[in-house]
Structure 1
C-alpha cells in the first residue's frame, strides 16, 4: 500500500513540479530552459493553456512575433472569454506591424485595434489594453485613424479606474505633443498620489530628457531615494 501511494504521488506531482520548475526558470529570465520544459508539457497536454501562454511570452521576449501570435491565437480559440489573450495577441500583432513595411502594417491596424477593444469588452477594468490603445492612436497618422481625441478618451477611462494611470496617460499624451509644462503638472500629480518607481521615472525622464532641467531631476531623485 505504501509503495502504491508513493508511486501515485510521483504520477500526480511530476507534471506540477515540471511546470513549477519551468515557471521559476521563466521568472529568473532563463527562457531557453523554461521553453524546453513548457514545450514538453504542451506536447503531453495540448490543453495546458498556461504553458502555451508562457511559450507565447517567451517568443515575444525573443521578438519572434509570428511564434507569439501562433500561441496567442491558440489561447484565444481555446478560451475566447479571456481578456489577456486578446490583449497579448494585439500587442504581438502591433510589434509585428512595427517591424513590417508600411503597407503590410496598414493592413494590420484593424486587427490590432479590435484585439485591444475586445480585451476591454471582456474585462472592462483592463488597464493595459487602454494604455495600448492610447499608444496606437498617438502613433498612427491621422489619415489612417490616429487621433488625439480618442487617446484622451481612453485616458479619461483610465482615470476612472485608476487616478494615477489617468494622470500618467494624460501626461504621456501631453509629452507626445511636446506640451512639456502640462505633462509636468500631470506627472507631478501622479507622483504625489502614487509615489512609485513608475511615477518617479516618468517625471525624472521628463526633467532630464525633455525639459533639460538637471537640477529638478537631481532634486526629485534625491527626495525619492530618501
Structure 2
C-alpha cells in the first residue's frame, strides 16, 4: 500500500515535468525558441541528465548566437554521451562560431579543438556528412599559415562524393567557387542539379550565375527550371 501511495504522491510532479517538456518541444518545433527555453530549463532541473533537453537548450542558445551558452550545453552532452558523434559535431560548430566572432589571437587558440571535434564526429560516425562539410569550410577559410589547405578540403569533398554524390559535387563546386574558379564550380553545380534535383543545387548554380559570373538571365532560367520541376 505504501508504494501505491508514493506513486500517487509523485504523479503530479511527473505529469508537471512531462508537460513542461512537451510544451517546450511544441514551442521549439513552431520556431518559438525563446518561449520554449524556460520550459526546457524547468524540465532540466527535475531531470538534470536528460540529453534531449540539454541538446534543445544548446540549439536554442545557438539560434541566438550565444555561443558560450551553446558550448556549455554541448560540452555537457559530450560528457554524458561521449560516443555520440553529433554531440561532438555540434560542440565543434559552436566553438567554431565563437572563434569566428573572436579576435584573431583567441580564434587561433581554438582552431585545434574545433578541428578535432569534427574529426571525432567522423571517427564515431564514418558517414557523418555535416562534419565533413564543416571541415571543408574550415580549411578553405583558414589562412595557409595557420592550417588552411585546399588539398585537405578537397580530400573531404572526395569522401563526401562516396557517401552522397550530390554533396560531393556541391562541395567541389563550393571549393572551386571560393577560389574563383567559376567555370569549374559551374560544372560541379550542374552535375549536382542533374543527379539530385535539390533546391540547394539549383540555388547554388543560380547564385553563381547571378553573383559571380554576371549572368542574371541564366540565374533566372535555373530558378524557373526548379519551379517547373516542383510544379
* TM category, shorter: over 0.9
Identify unmatched segments of 5+ residues in structure 1: none
Cross-structure match for 1:203? 205
Cross-structure match for 1:46? 48
Q: Distance in 2 between matches of 1:18 and 1:178?
A: 50
Q: CA deviation at 1:7?
A: 8.8
Q: CA deviation at 1:18?
A: 2.6
Cross-structure match for 2:221? 219
Cross-structure match for 2:79? 77
Q: Distance in 2 between matches of 1:16 and 1:166?
A: 42
RMSD: 1.7
Q: CA deviation at 1:15?
A: 3.2
Q: CA deviation at 1:200?
A: 1.0
Identify unmatched segments of 5+ residues in structure 2: none
Q: Return the match for 2:146 from 144, 148, 159.
A: 144
- Tell which deviates more after alignment, 85-94 or 8-17: 8-17
Cross-structure match for 1:57? 59
Q: How does 1:16-165 map to 2 (within 5 A)?
A: 16-165=18-167
Q: Distance in 1 between matches of 2:154 and 2:108?
A: 23
- CA deviations over 1:139-185 (Å, ceiling 9, x no partner): 11001100000000000000000000000000000000000011000
Q: CA deviation at 1:33?
A: 1.1
- Please identify runs of 4+ aligned residues in structure 1 that moved more than 3 A: 4-17
Q: Structure 1-normalised TM-score? A: 0.94
Q: How does 1:168-207 map to 2 (within 5 A)?
A: 168-207=170-209
SS at match of 2:136: helix
